[in-house]
Amino acid sequence: MTDQAIAAPADTPTQQAGATAGQIAVLAALASVGTLATNILLPSLPQMAATLQVTTPAVTASITIFLVVFALGQLVVGPISDRYGRRLPVLAGFAVFIAGSVWCGLATDLPALLVGRAIQAAGACATSVLSRAIARDMFSGAALARVLTIVMIAQAAAPGFSPLLGGGLDHVFGWRSEFVFVGIFALVSAIAFAVVLGETHHATRIPLNPIAIGTTYGKLSTNRHFLIPAVTVSLIMGGLFSLFSAAPRVLIEGYGFTPIALGLFFAGTVMVVFGSGMLAARLAPRVGLERAIRYGLLIAFVGGVALLAAAVLHANVATFIAATCIFLLGMGVVNPLGTAQTLSPFGTHAGAASALLGFWQMTGAAIGVFLVATIVPDALLALGIVLTGGCLLAVLLYAMRAPVPAP
């Protein structure tokens, strides 16, 4: 399978018209299930630890195991969807996720909670990875970029608003109500998916052969048209998760924020991501997809340098927030446009391509979170180093990209 074969432009999507509000809403729900289920728990970790009679650091393993299973599961779900279509894996994923949510809500000790979180992640990975593949089935070019922009805004909004939501649910009903909420959210999303979208994969079905799957992943990983934008997006996503993981330490321990103020900060980041997503949707048709991504990378790099400078100069909280907004502005441009550019040439292999992209994004997130927690004790300095280094690598890597040949 050559680069030209795997990136064949003949893999045309089934629909080229503009997306409806219902289609976008369903795709956004699919994409946000995983991040909603992760961040909604953050305010409740101390209460969960007390109930389960473990330490708070121990109960954070529920976040780690979710991310690990979420990343690995995508590598399996993508090829299955290329063979059997999108509808069955998505509905099965929702069913598994709901079962995991029930399990978590009934857990009476930490091992049971971890099992439930693993089940949740196994279901959520299907909905997340296939939201991108379904978008690729239905759209291409500028239409795909616009749809993915809105979907990625929703995916970024989930970790922004969910801590506030989780804190409210915990305060009124207790932490177990958070699992009830995400379970109901998944059930409603599954019904909406079945009604609004259903099956979208009408291209040639790829046989479910482990050797062929491994070969496909290998070919994708060595195809410049996939590799460079995929790794670029993964580096930027690693920076985003690093920011989310370091922000509580920076703002609460460093600047004296209360948990409520921290929740408001996370909610405010959604507004920045929303604005940058709208900018991406307008910028790409005017200057071209590739140039718009380069602009976004440079903006994100400036934000990383500003955060590093804020740490070195011991700047005030306003400087930290301003630098964070600059990074988020760039990230909000790169993420949807880079995702669209990564998946566009791979219609027949959209499931596998989306799975591999999702795996790398979660791997980048895990590496970023690990680095920001370990390289230096100062959380803000660590964040500045990670963001500056990651964004610089992304800028340099993307500069190596050759344009995709015209069909």
Rounded CA-CA distance 354/12 in Å is: 16
Rounded CA-CA distance 28/152 in Å is: 7
Rounded CA-CA distance 344/316 in Å is: 43
Q: Are 292 and 148 in contact (CB under 8 A)?
A: no
Rounded CA-CA distance 245/387 in Å is: 13
Mean pLDDT for the stretch of residues 12-28: 67
Query: Is 279 a residue whose pLDDT tops 80?
Result: yes
Q: Are 30 and 134 in contact (CB under 8 A)?
A: yes
Tokens 């893999």 found at: 11
Residue ranges of the alpha helices (H) in 288-349?
289-312, 317-343
Rounded CA-CA distance 380/304 in Å is: 11
Mean pLDDT for the stretch of residues 257-269: 77
> According to the model, what pLDDT value does residue 79 have?
77
C-alpha distance from residue 262 to each of 82, 174, 230 (Å): 41, 20, 31
Burial of 2 (0-12, 13-18, 19+ CB in 10 A): exposed
Rounded CA-CA distance 395/196 in Å is: 39
Please compute, for residue 86, the number of CA atoms within 13 A of its CA located in the half-sphere on the CB side. Answer: 32
Query: Is 181 a residue whose pLDDT tops 90?
Result: yes
Query: Is 388 a residue whose pLDDT tops 90?
Result: yes
Burial of 187 (0-12, 13-18, 19+ CB in 10 A): middle
Helical (H) or strand (E) element with 354: helix 350-374
Higher pLDDT, 149 or 179: 179
Spatial neighbors of 258 by CB under 8 A, at least 6 apart, are 252
Q: Are 171 and 44 in contact (CB under 8 A)?
A: no
Q: Is 142 helix (H, G, I), strand (E, B) or coil?
A: helix
Can you read off the two tokens belonging to residue 52?
Answer: 């389960």
Rounded CA-CA distance 95/67 in Å is: 19
Residue ranges of the alpha helices (H) in 197-258?
210-222, 224-248
Rounded CA-CA distance 75/40 in Å is: 25
> According to the model, what pLDDT value does residue 72 have?
87
> According to the model, what pLDDT value does residue 185 have?
94
> According to the model, what pLDDT value does residue 402 have?
59
Mean pLDDT for the stretch of residues 146-172: 76
SS (H, E, C) 36-49: HHHHCCHHHHHHHH
Rounded CA-CA distance 101/233 in Å is: 30
Instruction: Give domain limits for the chain.
Output: 19-398
The conformation of residue 250, written as its DSSP 8-state character, comes to I
What is the CATH topology of the domain spanning 19-398? Growth Hormone; Chain: A; (1.20.1250)
> According to the model, what pLDDT value does residue 204 have?
64
The conformation of residue 205, written as its DSSP 8-state character, comes to P
Higher pLDDT, 326 or 11: 326
Tokens 């599954």 found at: 190
Which amino acid would we find at residue 367?
I
Which amino acid would we find at residue 81?
S
Rounded CA-CA distance 51/58 in Å is: 13
Cβ-based neighbour number of residue 111 at 10 Å: 10
Q: Are 369 and 382 in contact (CB under 8 A)?
A: no
Share of the chain above pLDDT 90, in %: 29
Averaged confidence pLDDT in the chain: 82
Cβ-based neighbour number of residue 182 at 10 Å: 27
Supply angle C-alpha 161, 377, 252, rounded to 5.
Answer: 35
> Tell me: the pLDDT tens digits for 130-144?
887 788 778 777 777
C-alpha distance from residue 300 to each of 181, 314, 336 (Å): 34, 21, 14
Query: Is 221 a residue whose pLDDT tops 80?
Result: yes
